Structure formats: structure tokens, C-alpha cells
Structure 1
Amino acid sequence: LTVREGQAAVFVHEGQLADVFTPGLYMLETNNMPILTTLQHWDHGFQSPFKSEIYFVNTTRFSNLKWGTKNPIICRDPEFGPVRIRAYGTYTIKVSDPARFLTEIVGTDGEFTMDEISYQIRNIIVQEFSRVIASSGIPVLDMAANTADLGKLVAAQISGTLEQYGLSMPELYIENISLPPAVEEALDKRTSMGMAGDLGKFTQYSAAEAMTAAARNPNGGGGMGAGLGMGMGMAMAGQMAAQSGPWGAAPQPAPMSPPPPPTPVEKVWHLADGTETKGPYSRADLGRMLLDGSLSRETYVWAAGQDGWKKAEDIDELAQLFTILPPPPPGA
């Protein structure tokens, strides 16, 4: 048995996979030697009941295989929000495990081509590509710069599934990632506005160009008048654009209501009792102390912000307490 480079021979004996032969020259001893079979098994119609089969598997790379998304993939872009994208490219595949490939894919097919499995592989690529794109978080505008890394990531994620079929994917290329036509048109408009820069200066330049073109018109006055009219109209549009901004008139902010006034802080006083200080007391507390006799006009009091100790009757806020004090009862 001669197995050439880029091949592998799978030996199936009596219906069971017996061995896999890599490139080289082999001497096989089987149960169906041609001459011996003819002499001993004439009663079987000269067909040996012991049969062996050899399947040759191409182990070279199958390149330039196409893949692509039939329908747009919805993903969330950090700048544009939910967007739909399409992608296509090529991939390379090879048989890494001939025995498993024969068992899982080929079966008893005497002639098997890569076209018979390419459709299934394309579905696997698209499914994994959709998952990788959705979880990558790469902005749409930056995907073109990361196609190589995305291709390697998708190929690595697919390798586990392909190993079950005895296949491997050495290379996967993403040739293009595109947006739907409506989104591309909106993006082109946004790019054009960004390239225009200052819309006022751009409008003035366009008006000057229109006037120059009108002056070159051989018809004379009519064309000149049209050019002047166009220039004036575009100049007015430029002034309006300068006043309202590139996206139209900016909404006027609603007037803000004044903040509520701060909550007043109640003033408190301290009393001097000989060498001791008592308090703090509120004005209501001092009113009760005035009634029970523990506060008099001569009592020295102090509050925050006050310049030293003063008599209670000398403080305007406390002097009112003494004016509303009832007179002493009769006979007192």
C-alpha cells in the first residue's frame, strides 16, 4: 500500500475501522488473498466473504472557501445603539483526524467532496461570528481595524465543534463588515457635515462660487441676477445657520425656579450665674425663667455673635420679654 504526501489511508476490515496509514509504503496481509480466495471460495460465486476496504483521505488544506451572513446580525453599538451588520469572508479547512472524519462524516460514501460539508461549516461560522460580535463590544467604526483579531477569535471558538468532525480550521478571514444601505447613507451625511466644518464659512464660500459661475455666464444680466439672488439667499441661510447652529434652533432652557430660603436657625443664649455659665436657652426658655424669677433685667446673657456679656434688658430681642411681664399682684 502506497500512501503519498497529503494523504491518509483508512483501513476498514470486515466492516470495522482497523488502522490509519500516514504517508509511506506498507505491506498488507489480508484475509482475501486473490488466488487463495478463488480456489477455496468457489461456492460463494468466487466472491470472498472476507472483505477489506481502504479509503484515501486528502489531508491538504482546502482554501478559498466562502462564508457570509444571509441576514443582518443585530448588535448593540456604544455610539449608534442597535445596528444591523453584514459580513463575509473566506476560510481554510483540512482533515486533522481521518478516522473520526470517516466515522462521523463520510460513512459508506465511496466519494466524498468538501462541498457536501461546506454548507454546515458556513452555518457554524455565522453562528459563532454572531456571538463573538455581540459580546466583543467593539464599535462598528472600529471593526475594520480589528478584522484579523476577530477572525482568529472566531476560528478559535469554532475549533472545538470542528474537532468532533475530525476537521480543523487553520485560517479564517473576514473580508468585509458592512452596514445596511440606509445606515451607510446616514453615516455618509454625518461624515460630509463633519468635513464641511464651519457651516457659515462653507455657505459663504458656496455663495462666492455661485456668483463667480454666474459672472462667467455669457447670457449676462439674467445669469448675474440669478447668481446674486442665489448668493444672497445662501448668505441669509448662513446667518440663520450661524444663529441656530448646525442642527436647527437650540431649545431655550426653562427658567430655573429660585431656591427655597434657608431655614432660620433659632438663637440661643447663655446666662452668667456668678462664676458659672448656664445654657443654652431659647427665647421661650428665657420667658419661662422670667416668670419663675430665675431671670431678671440685671442678669448677664451672651449669644453667638454678641460682643461680650450684656444685661438682658439691654438686648432688644430680650427686652420685649420684660414689657409683657405682668405687674406684681396686689399686696405684694
Structure 2
Amino acid sequence: MLIKHADLALNKLKKGYTMKLYDIVKWDDGESSVNDIISYKHEAEDFNTHTQLIVHQSQEAVFFKDGMALDLFGPGKHTLSTQNIPLLKKLINIPTGGETPFHCDVFFVNKVYLADLRWGTPTPILMEDPLEQINIHVGANGLFGAHISDTRKFLTKIVGTRDRFSKDELGGYLRGKIIERVTDLLGKTMVDKQVSILSVSSHFTELSDSIKEQMVPFFEDYGIALDLFSFTTIKAPDEDLAEVNEAKKARRKMDLESEALARKRQREGYTYQQERGYDVLGQAASNEGTSSTFMGAGMGLGMGLGVGGAFGAGMANVANAGFNGMQQGQAAAAQVGEVCPNCKAVLPEGAAFCNKCGTRLGNVCPKCGAVQPKGVAFCNHCGASMKPVCPKCGAEVAEGALFCNKCGTRLGGEPVKATCPNCGAEVADGALFCNKCGTKLQ
């Protein structure tokens, strides 16, 4: 038959063993008042069911038996009885009633807020600046504050069997875990929020809150509430900052140049691919060479620039014509560009008006004036119908019509010079009388 713990204690007393039974158990160590000690294992190990347990403000006491955290007591004066130590009573079978001795350990935990604890990365963190894609070495430091939120978890997972656990020990433990987490999270958080090392000082609060939020569940698992986490400094060496600054300047310069070129092409009505096509064709037209040399250039252009079938057709025509210097180059250019229906001048692809005679080419949105690809039914800029309309009365007109069939307004081509119906002399537009024979014109 198993001998229960209470019976064992009584047998020891009967056999003459000396057992120091404590009437009052409390932690009055002055060190706790200044928060230097976080947990304290009381020297008492033998109690009875009339022992007084005194727990001060900001403290909690926990009974342990065989490594198990059992009954927990908050601030106040507690008389140990079978009613308020149900877990211990069940484990060691303390009989109800009377004064019964029992053996266990009691730990006191200081739950005050621990403030102004410092942390800092011992070595730089290698990461990539999220905006400039330059590798940098980042150091960081700051403050944190915490308190014990779950006494049982804290004692079993961190303190263990140690008689005392100091603030410095807890600070060192937390500091190591914070640095471990910051090393993993700082670079990722800066990338997620697109914060460059050059502007990081204005994002301390944002980064602190984000990283704290990600660390809270980790510390809760150890019975610790992370009340405060903040950055004091995040910095990189001067040489890293100089490299990032140079990359930023170069990127900004390229952006400005690209924006300027894009605006220029937009004004002139062509794209980058078309510009490159014109450059190569212009070089081919101005240089005499063999057909194989020019064809090789054409193949390279087609593969590298993706000009497409129109350029391929141009190359074929040039090859068939014998590549006779400037004339062949101009023929190739004509295959790529637009041809004015009025004066037959070769124009850049996508041109809205002839730059020689001013004829409207018919691929301009009648509402917003944006240049549109051939064959589209609606403007891809403003959504208006691409059917040509009279600029004066707004009536739809046939493609290529020279006059509006509703109001007679001239739509394109060379303007017809007004003449006198009597003598045939040219007269100015809007003239009321012929300045040669005096005939009334209107």
C-alpha cells in the first residue's frame, strides 16, 4: 500500500525527525522593493494546514510539488487549508480537518513593470535597402519594458529550479530574444513598408509598433507581456549611406531623363520602339553596303526590337530592289512610316497630320485629338467614336471625304483657291467683290 505524503510527514515526526514547520511564510526581502529580484524560492519546505501565507502587492506565490506548478495565490493573507489548496490537496492527499503537515516548495514572483530595459544589436544586420537595392549593414538599439503576465509559465519555462532570478538575468534573457527577433524582422518590415535607410529615422514609431506586434505572441508563450518596444537608433556606416545616396541620385537622373523622353515622344506621336526603328533604317539609308550586311542588320533589328511584320516586309522589299544606297533606305523607311494621302510624303508611323501639307491623316480621335491605331472603333483615351466628323457641324462623314456632305466644310487635302466666276481671277477667301473686274461674288 502506498504511503501518502501527509502520512510520511507524520511518521517522520513519530520517529523523532526534526521538521521545521512554518507558521508564517512571506517574502520581505528588501531587494524586491527595488525590483532587483524577479522570483524567489522560499526556504520553507514543510507546512501545515494552519500556516499563514502572506503575499505583498505586485507579488504572486505558487506552490510546487514534484516539478508541477499547483495552487497560485495573489496579494493578501491566506491561511492554508484544504479549501484553498485544492490542487496540492489532491496531489498529496491531505486529509480534511485538523492540522496536517505537508512538504512542498513555494515560489514568490515580483510582477512589477520592468521599465527602461535596453537592447542593441551586437553586430550589424546585413540587409538590402528596399528602394535602392544596395546591400547595407544596419545596427539598431532601443528600449523595451515588460512584466510577468503568467506566473506559472514564467517559473516553469524560464526560472526552473533556481532559487533566485534577478532583473538583470531577466533583462539579459529578454534582450537576447529581442535581438534574435529584430534580426529576423527589421529587414523584412523595412521591405514590406518600403522604408529606405536614408529616411528610416522618420519611421521609428511605425517600425517599432509593427515589430512589437509581431513579437508579443512569442513572449506570451513564456508568460511575459511585452509592454514597450521602441527604436532609439537605426543606422548604417557612412560608406554604405554614400553608396545608397549615389544609387538614389543615379536613379533619379534616369527617371528624369526617361520622363523627358517620354513627353517628347508623346508630343511627336511615336514610341521608343519606333524611334529605334527609324534610327537603324536611317543608318542603312545613308550608308552603301552589300545586301547581306543590310539584311543582317534587319534581322538583328527584328529580333532585338520586335518591330514586327511591317519591318520584315520593308527588309524584303529593300533586298529585292538590290539595296541601291539611299533610294533603298528611303523605300524601307516608307514601308515602316505613314504616307500622306494628299502629297504622298513619308511620315512617322502614328502621325496625326502631314508635316508637309498639313493634311489630317484620319487616325486622330475627333474628340480629344489622341493618336489611335488604325482600325479601332473607339478612342482608347477618351472612349469617343473614331468615326470622322465634320469639325464645323459635327456630322459623321465618310473616311477620306474632302468635304462635309452636310455643310460643305472642306475636310482635307490642298485648299481650293477661290476664283471670280466672271474673269477667273483668284480672289481672297471671304471677298465680296472681284478685285480685278468688280463682279459681286456673294
TM-score when scaled to structure 1? 0.50
Q: 1 or 2, which has the higher strand percentage?
A: 1
Bigger relative contact order, structure 1 or 2, given CA contacts below 8 A and separation 6+?
A: 1
Which entry has the higher C-alpha Rg, 1 or 2? 1
Q: 1 or 2, which has the higher helix percentage?
A: 1
